Amino acid sequence: MTDIERMILERGRDLIRAAKRYAPGVAERINNAVFEMCMKDPHTKKQLFRFIDVLPNLKTDALMTQHLQEYLWNEKIQVPLSGLAKLASWLTPNPTARVVRMASGAMAKSFIPGASVEKAYKAIIQSGHKFTIDILGEKTTSETDAGTYMDAYLHALDYLSSEYGEGAVDEHGNPQINLSIKVSALYSRFDPLNTENSSSHVRNRLREIFRKAMEVGAAINIDVEHRQYKDLTYDIFKGLLEEDEFRTYGYAGIVVQAYLKDSETTLMNLINWTKRQKRSISIRLVKGAYWDHEVMLAQQNHWDIPVFTEKWETDANFEELTRILLKNAKYTHAAIATHNIRSLVHALVLKDKLGVDDAHFELQFLCGMANEIKKALIEQKVPFRVYTPVGELIPGMGYFVRRLLENSSNESFIRAFDTTADPAELLRMPEGNIKAQKGESVVEKNLGYMGQGKSPEEADTLFENFISCDFSTAVNRSRMSAALDDLEVMDSGLYINGEWIETTKRIESTNPSNRSEVLGKVGKAEKREVLHALESARKAYDSWKRVSARERAGYLEKAAVLMGERVYDLSALMVKEAGKNWREAYVDTAEAIDFLNFYAAEMKKLGDPVKTQELLGEDNFLSYRPKGVVAVISPWNFPLAILTGMTSAAIVTGNTTVIKPASESPLIAAELVQIFAEVGLPKGVLNYVPGSGAEVGNLLVESPLVDMIAFTGSRKVGLSIYEKMSRVKPGQKNLKTAIVELGGKNGLIVDSTADIDEAIPALLYSAFGYQGQKCSACSRVIVLNRIYDAFVAKLLESTRSLIQGDTSIPGVDVGPVISKRAYDTILGYIEKGKADGGKVLYEGSHQDTPGNYLAPTIIEVESENILAKEEIFGPVLSVLRVNDFSSAIAVLNSTDYALTGGLFSRTPSHIKQFIAEAGVGNRYINRGITGAVVERQPFGGFKMSGAGSKAGSTDYLKAFMYPITTTENTGRKGHIPGLDEFAR
Amino acid sequence: MTDIERMILERGRDLIRAAKRYAPGVAERINNAVFEMCMKDPHTKKQLFRFIDVLPNLKTDALMTQHLQEYLWNEKIQVPLSGLAKLASWLTPNPTARVVRMASGAMAKSFIPGASVEKAYKAIIQSGHKFTIDILGEKTTSETDAGTYMDAYLHALDYLSSEYGEGAVDEHGNPQINLSIKVSALYSRFDPLNTENSSSHVRNRLREIFRKAMEVGAAINIDVEHRQYKDLTYDIFKGLLEEDEFRTYGYAGIVVQAYLKDSETTLMNLINWTKRQKRSISIRLVKGAYWDHEVMLAQQNHWDIPVFTEKWETDANFEELTRILLKNAKYTHAAIATHNIRSLVHALVLKDKLGVDDAHFELQFLCGMANEIKKALIEQKVPFRVYTPVGELIPGMGYFVRRLLENSSNESFIRAFDTTADPAELLRMPEGNIKAQKGESVVEKNLGYMGQGKSPEEADTLFENFISCDFSTAVNRSRMSAALDDLEVMDSGLYINGEWIETTKRIESTNPSNRSEVLGKVGKAEKREVLHALESARKAYDSWKRVSARERAGYLEKAAVLMGERVYDLSALMVKEAGKNWREAYVDTAEAIDFLNFYAAEMKKLGDPVKTQELLGEDNFLSYRPKGVVAVISPWNFPLAILTGMTSAAIVTGNTTVIKPASESPLIAAELVQIFAEVGLPKGVLNYVPGSGAEVGNLLVESPLVDMIAFTGSRKVGLSIYEKMSRVKPGQKNLKTAIVELGGKNGLIVDSTADIDEAIPALLYSAFGYQGQKCSACSRVIVLNRIYDAFVAKLLESTRSLIQGDTSIPGVDVGPVISKRAYDTILGYIEKGKADGGKVLYEGSHQDTPGNYLAPTIIEVESENILAKEEIFGPVLSVLRVNDFSSAIAVLNSTDYALTGGLFSRTPSHIKQFIAEAGVGNRYINRGITGAVVERQPFGGFKMSGAGSKAGSTDYLKAFMYPITTTENTGRKGHIPGLDEFAR
């Protein structure tokens, strides 16, 4: 055992002994009872968390009792408060609700001691601890919110300096007044992609706070939040301090999160920056509070997990960072923030060993955590500060839940501040078991991360979604910028029978953000070329259908690789041609890649005949064969994804295709054709004939050479195709079938238990993302009366902060609509809606030059208003007020369409009812209603939204094929192969 | 050890020692080499058996080499004859083919010593053994065959008596001349259901043989074949001997098969009959030669396996039967036929112990089997006879393969006559291991018999086909007779909204076998009633869609139980109403029951939402919801099965239905409605409106209240429905989709390696079963030039033996066509075909009273003849001659239809090509092309045969539903349920 380990053991035993002398208070005992319940089983934990989460919304006893019933009693979960409830039954007519409210209030209060700075100050004074105050209110959904947040800090500085006096310092000369700030709360569109705006808005507000802090001699610490905000947060912090007026400010501080794999680099960069700047800052070392979130986000987006996934790794890294920090104590003030006895004792021992002065060192605990140890440490005169949140329960709920999570994590089964555990165990050096030390992460393995734990057979047909773009990384932003800069004017022909063909008539493609910008031209097909394309497809079919499923899948996989290599170029083209913002454009390309890989993987599976029954003497197999020639008619709104999906499904199943892209987006379609040409797809399998819907479309739909039509587009065109294709023509081989994906009039219900902070951004994105030009877009929000006014007020505030403009500018939320015609149509709808009695709640300024800039519009309507019925396909959101939940469902279901629909609610019975009764193809609960991901959310609806196919689903490919049964008598004169083995 | 066991061991050791002195001959060594190869691995065995099976058809060296290549060399199977082949390479230009032909000739000859009685007699004389001669030719496909077979026996008696002299006896006074006969070969329509005809035809022919045998003093033994023939065979045997002229015949004998579980009863019955008759017969005790076949048949039909499935059980039973037989030796001549040393020594010891006279006892071996032991036994003066088959290789192949099977079975790994094995092991008393003694059959378990080995979850959604009717059982025949006798005239209304409704207009249903027989009347719906039915269905939908999948499935399961209870009544009604023969009618009901049970099981599975991806913080599920109201329009040709299938699929998926049955078969439809009413299906879920297609059909198809159409019927009506339903009407909720199952023009290819004996009955049944009125019926046989003449000649002969008549008579093959109109249409087609150049090869006598009796017609046509193109839907078979296999496939694929198609071939590359290129929905290899079984052969085609749905498949139900995606964000403020467990 090393010296240091011996010292840690010694000092740690001492501390534990001291801590044991303090008995827990009432609140702590309630907390502990809840933590123990949570640790019993995951279901109880889940239900309890959910119940606590919704608590602030349960404003009446009836609501409280209902939710206790639905979350706990119905689930047979007994909360150990029933004794108390009985006791209280003579006090109040609704004892359970009362007791729960009291108990949860006590719990929350132990972590969040005051709803205002004034109240918190009283608690602080009472406790006698040093503090740093954190004003709760993380989710800032509007500039009003952001301003309020800034004002609260300014007020706190005013108030506290009036209490302490300006320039008050403690015994070590450090400021008495110490505040902690989350920068994301200082701007409502805080987003690393929205770099310039985020930086300037936050710096503007932070500047005022820093000025006042300098004025009153207060310390300001910047908290670090989600990993995606990290780089921008450090940039803002350093940038601000480098401003002249703050060069002399000595009490600024920032956080380093030890759970991040790159935290050592982060810390070294900070220290080096400080050295270069010849100044001192405070660095608070924490383990990190968003572990669940980071792991989830990484898994959902297929990113490398940025945090250590084993607890011991974070603990070990924390010690390493402590060492670095304390070695550089002269440039910094080191705040070691941990409740883990081993970690903090390690820091104390190291501090002594390195001779770090008390003025450059402190421990930090969160308010309400590990109180016994806190008391023992203070008694031992260790420099100590309590992180003290201030705020109401609703904005504080996120903070509160994170504390509960930390306290009820089953990780390692020993809570690091549990003084009843074996001291040697608590103080043991952090190290994993042998497997973990070899770098085999349990989390990654259990998540099946990157195909881990799959057999070779499974891996062969394994599908993984394309990795999402992390625009919080600067290099990714640069790539997109470069791709936009590199775009050249395109010039392209038709593609028929493996050859690019020139035409005299051309289609011109322009930028909806700036209609005078011509992006390129493609050929315009006429009857002769369409027939040529159809004959080529028919001819190619005879050989293409003989190519094995696996080989066909290979072409898609190769195309996916090329597309992946060109992801920024393709996305940039869509930014320009379709008016998509960066994220929307990237997601469009990613979805196209997903379709290629998913349909390839699925076809490899479907390519193997399946035995229908295990039978002696007879083999029976089900397999599939292609239908023939598929006409693909695609829209402009997902110009790459939808076209790629329909085309690749047709091709991989053994059909040949003639594709007619929308005239608004022929360039990106030509890029797809080019990719398939490059991967060597045999000639005639894919033929590309842009042209007019009336001419080219009709020729395709009515041709006897066509066996199937894959169409995504408007209801009007879709129904006409459906009708036309059903008439059998002379010479036609098969009854034509069709995939038709039409429009939507999608609604989102918000009830009184909705988490508004989550609902608002989800709604804004669903309604105004890509200017509402998605078939899945939310065009109706159906709000329950009880929450209506508050919700709508917040919604309007939030809408105001959306950034509108040219989509080539990063961070733009709302771009132009696709065309001047669309612009006029949508404005026309707004006028009709008004005439129909609609009340405009929000209307930005529309402007049709240089692009088709139509501002988001929010209109309050009755359920019979045209805006509540017809698809608009633009940034127009109708708001409907309903009295009860069943009416909300009825309104949701009341249109001709049935595509997507959503619900924000934390009432289990409402969620259940929604699942049972929402008559739409894609249902979303507590999230936005757009952005279906391939395989994850198979997409498509019914009624006038489509005929029930699901793009990105296992069954989608089956629509492009006929099922075939093959039966073979395997017996020969009574010899039955396999019977020998059966008999063994 | 008992006395007997000691004596067996002693005598057995003696015998083995004696046998070892004889060395095997050349043929035996070849045989042994082949047996050993077969025992090496199942694949080699299969390939070798298949190659040997096709050998007689390989008439040229090129064919021989090709098949060696395809069966063996390509499969990396080395036959240990290559040395010999090398040696022979200077003898012949095609040494391999030559050597294989020689070697296989030698093998066959060792089992089948002569192609004629004369040749066999020479071999017999040479060997000096006693014999019983079996003239090969089991498959009798025409009366010519049957006559030839009888004549061969008469000739054998003539010839042998001329050689031996009349009345020649051996040293024990038993006849020198001894023949064995298979009764099934004496009549081409031998079938237990065709009882009267089978019995009289066989007895007529047997009588002549017996007469001659009595005349010349020869012994005649009746072989017993498949279990299904057994009862009828014993009946014929006993019946004949009870005839006056044979009362004194003392040399008749019959077989008892010890592998049958009921063989002890059979033996006792025989002995008792003999006692009552006060005569003596010969009884040959065998183990049984059709084990594979019996097990296969039982499994395919879901019957109890009639044979012992463990070898030791048969062996033990053989000893028990030996005991019974020898105890009754005075009434019988006991022939113990086995090569198993233990079994035969056991018999010898018992014989001595019981003092059975040599005159009443003999051992029998098959020619070519266990030669060493045979020699030792004869040396020991044991009464001994050799079972000696006589015939060419093609008719003898079945016999030959059975011998190979016996010799290469891996069962117990020790061949019972292998004298190199441990004598104590060879002579051990037959008994199984403990598991086997408990009655746990390895075979049954491995077959998953009757749900064995399934988990409770699997069992819950387990589907098993309804047990086929075994019409070889007298009690089943009686049930059908009684059901026919009990049929009463029916009277029924419409069924709307849960009530039977009277109408003034009525539809009359008559018997196509006798048009003057009115079977009953049903109501005829008019517009008012149809609209009422539609509104009832729409209304019922709102509540029915809310009933759980499991509960809906329950109604189907209950209906299946009722239908099972009424299987004979329902089938009898179809015999009368649809003109189906007994088997066809029963299969129709059984298929209906299968649809109910299968769709119930499938829906229980589909009712559970399926997770699409394993994701942190978000649950994603795919589930299904019904479409709404389904109009079911069904045909008369499977009046119960198809109607039940379409209706139950619609109902179980949560839709409500309005059904319009064909006007030719409304009574059986009313029975189905009645069954659903009895199981308590909620009112309005099923509505029944018989009526005219033009009126009722159109109303349904064009109604905006209908969401889907399920139609099976003619191409003309189907295409018109497809077109009409695609036009969206005002008020219509969903885009209508349709299941359309239309006609077929199905072909069967016969190439030169086809097993003609199997192909002919399969073709006859496919073409003329139910008078060709199946969409799957074979209406074209495409025959390769090389085999054309022989095949067609045999086909015509066989057709002649089909029995035509009133289908209520059991055993009728071909009944009436459905209506006088159909009768006229079909005759019209025949005339057109003739006018088009068709050459009538076979034409029976047509007659349109009392029923619509249209005889099978066979016409040779060119591929452009109308009869090669259009669907006729009657008993008309076109024959097409082609020059090569690719042309055969081209002809097969040349019609507008793509429903079923078949191939008879034993050439692997042809089978492969057929599977790759036959453009039909259901492909059948080496079997008939009709009779698809639910789940086993999902049924349906494409081109003008349908839109690609597969009735009886897993995916069928999905066509009646919309897929729905449900996405739920499960996180709450960073708490991700399940992440704890992932992290563990």
Q: Indicate if the pLDDT at residue B381 is higher than 70.
A: yes
Rounded to whole angstroms, the Cα distance separating B116 from B109 reads 12
Candidates 3.40.50.720, 3.40.50.2000, 3.40.309.10, 3.20.20.30; correct CATH number of A747-945? Answer: 3.40.309.10
Shortest Cα distance, chain B CAs vs residue A279, angstroms: 36
Q: Indicate if the pLDDT at residue A983 is higher than 90.
A: no
Yes or no, beta carbons of A950 and B936 under 8 Å apart: no
Yes or no, beta carbons of B963 and A950 under 8 Å apart: yes
Q: pLDDT of B225-270, one tens digit each?
A: 999 999 999 999 999 999 999 999 999 999 999 999 999 999 999 9
> Is B353 at the interface with chain A, CB within 8 A?
no
Whether residue A393 contacts residue A372, with contact meaning beta carbons closer than 8 Å, is answered with no
Average pLDDT over chain A reads: 92
What's the whole-number mean pLDDT along residues A210-218?
Answer: 97
Amino acid at the residue B254: I
Residue A82 DSSP label: H
Q: Indicate if the pLDDT at residue B646 is higher than 80.
A: yes
Q: Indicate if the pLDDT at residue A801 is higher than 70.
A: yes
Nearest to A967 among B613, B925, B983 (CB): B925
> Which of these, B272, B248, B191, B175, lies nearest to B225 by C-alpha position?
B191
What's the whole-number mean pLDDT along residues B320-327?
Answer: 97
pLDDT band for position B449 (cuts 50, 70, 90)? low
CATH superfamily of B454-742: Aldehyde Dehydrogenase; Chain A, domain 1 (3.40.605.10)
The residues, any chain, with a CB within 8 Å of residue B690's CB and separated by 6 or more, are B494, B507, B522, B523, B524, B525, B660, B661, B663, B666, B669, B696
Shortest Cα distance, chain B CAs vs residue A282, angstroms: 28
Nearest to B983 among A411, A942, A950 (CB): A411
> Is B543 at the interface with chain A, CB within 8 A?
no
Shortest Cα distance, chain B CAs vs residue A546, angstroms: 8
Residue B188 has a CB neighbour count (10 Å cut-off) of 24
Backbone angles phi, psi at A738, to 5 degrees: -140, 145
Nearest to B963 among A402, A411, A938 (CB): A938
Predicted pLDDT at A40: 76
Rounded to whole angstroms, the Cα distance separating A324 from A321 reads 5
Q: Indicate if the pLDDT at residue B273 is higher than 80.
A: yes
Rounded to whole angstroms, the Cα distance separating A779 from A782 reads 10
pTM score, two decimals? 0.95
Predicted pLDDT at B932: 97
Residue B883 DSSP label: S
What's the whole-number mean pLDDT along residues B351-361?
Answer: 96
Kindly report which listed range (A453-462, B130-139, B332-341) carries the lowest average pLDDT score: A453-462
Beta bridge partners of A741: A712, A946
The DSSP code sequence of B98-155 is HHHHHHHHHHHHHHS-BSSHHHHHHHHHHHT-EEEEEE------SHHHHHHHHHHHHH
Catalytic residue, from B367, B469, B775, B778: name it.
B775
pLDDT band for position A436 (cuts 50, 70, 90)? low
List chain B residues with CB under 8 Å of A292.
Answer: 971, 974-976, 979
What's the whole-number mean pLDDT along residues A556-580?
Answer: 98
Higher pLDDT, A978 or A311: A311
Select the residue from B735, B766, B896, B970 to test the A interface by mutation, using most A Cβ atoms within 10 A: B735
Whether residue B410 contacts residue B400, with contact meaning beta carbons closer than 8 Å, is answered with no
Average pLDDT over chain B reads: 92
Half-sphere exposure in the Cβ direction for A822 (13 Å, CA): 23
Predicted pLDDT at B296: 93
Predicted pLDDT at A414: 44
Rounded to whole angstroms, the Cα distance separating A606 from A959 reads 12
Percent of chain A surpassing pLDDT 90: 79
> Which of these, B495, B533, B481, B491, lies nearest to B675 by C-alpha position?
B495
Backbone angles phi, psi at B134, to 5 degrees: -120, 120
Q: Where are the beta strands (DSSP E) in B737-872?
A: 737-741, 746-750, 778-784, 839-843, 857-860
Q: Indicate if the pLDDT at residue B483 is higher than 70.
A: yes
Whether residue B637 contacts residue B818, with contact meaning beta carbons closer than 8 Å, is answered with yes
List chain A residues with CB under 8 Å of B546.
Answer: 916
Q: CA nearest B442 in A: which residue?
A: A983
Yes or no, beta carbons of A300 and B45 under 8 Å apart: no
> Is B361 at the interface with chain A, CB within 8 A?
no
Backbone angles phi, psi at B498, to 5 degrees: 80, 10
Burial class (CB in 10 A: 0-12, 13-18, 19+), B459: exposed
> Is B669 at the interface with chain A, CB within 8 A?
no
Rounded to whole angstroms, the Cα distance separating B578 from A828 reads 63
Rounded to whole angstroms, the Cα distance separating B687 from B692 reads 16
CA distances from A198 to A203, A206, A765, B404 (A): 8, 12, 18, 85
CATH 3.40.605.10 residue spans of chain B:
454-742
Rounded to whole angstroms, the Cα distance separating A218 from A154 reads 11
Residue A58 has a CB neighbour count (10 Å cut-off) of 23
The SS3 assignment for A252 reads strand
Percent of chain B surpassing pLDDT 90: 79
List chain B residues with CB under 8 Å of A112.
Answer: none
Predicted pLDDT at A90: 57
> Is A617 at the interface with chain B, CB within 8 A?
yes
List chain A residues with CB under 8 Å of B443.
Answer: 982-983
Q: pLDDT of A733-759, one tens digit each?
A: 999 999 999 999 999 999 999 999 999
Higher pLDDT, B78 or A877: A877
Q: pLDDT of B77-116, one tens digit each?
A: 876 655 555 555 555 667 777 778 887 788 788 889 889 9
Q: Are strands A178-182 and A219-223 parallel, antiparallel or unpaired?
A: parallel
Q: Is A860 a catalytic residue?
A: no
Whether residue B405 contacts residue B52, with contact meaning beta carbons closer than 8 Å, is answered with no
CATH 3.40.309.10 residue spans of chain B:
747-945
Yes or no, beta carbons of A948 and B962 under 8 Å apart: yes
Burial class (CB in 10 A: 0-12, 13-18, 19+), B719: middle
Rounded to whole angstroms, the Cα distance separating B281 from B734 reads 76
List chain A residues with CB under 8 Å of B615.
Answer: 299-300, 936
Shortest Cα distance, chain A CAs vs residue B723, angstroms: 5
> Is B571 at the interface with chain A, CB within 8 A?
no
pLDDT band for position B414 (cuts 50, 70, 90)? very low
Q: pLDDT of A71-96, one tens digit each?
A: 988 888 876 655 555 555 555 667 77
Beta bridge partners of B619: B968
> Which of these, B453, B494, B522, lies nearest to B665 by C-alpha position?
B522
Q: Indicate if the pLDDT at residue A452 is higher than 80.
A: no
Predicted pLDDT at B975: 82
Predicted pLDDT at A77: 82
Yes or no, beta carbons of A622 and B46 under 8 Å apart: no
Q: CA nearest A980 in B: which residue?
A: B410
Higher pLDDT, B196 or A446: B196
Rounded to whole angstroms, the Cα distance separating A679 from A600 reads 14
Whether residue B136 contacts residue B395, with contact meaning beta carbons closer than 8 Å, is answered with yes
Shortest Cα distance, chain A CAs vs residue B972, angstroms: 7
Catalytic residue, from A444, A741, A860, A935: name it.
A741
Q: SS in 3 state form for A858-919? A: EEECCCCCHHHCCCCCCCEEEEEEECCHHHHHHHHCCCCEECEEEEECCCHHHHHHHHHHCC
Q: Is A741 a catalytic residue?
A: yes
Q: Indicate if the pLDDT at residue A173 is higher than 50.
A: yes
Torsion of CA B329, B331, B333, B334, to 10 degrees: -40
Whether residue B659 contacts residue B670, with contact meaning beta carbons closer than 8 Å, is answered with no
> Which of these, B367, B391, B385, B333, lies nearest to B131 by C-alpha position?
B385
Q: pLDDT of B543-561, one tens digit each?
A: 999 999 999 999 999 999 9
How many inter-chain contacts (A to B, CB under 8 Å) are there? 306
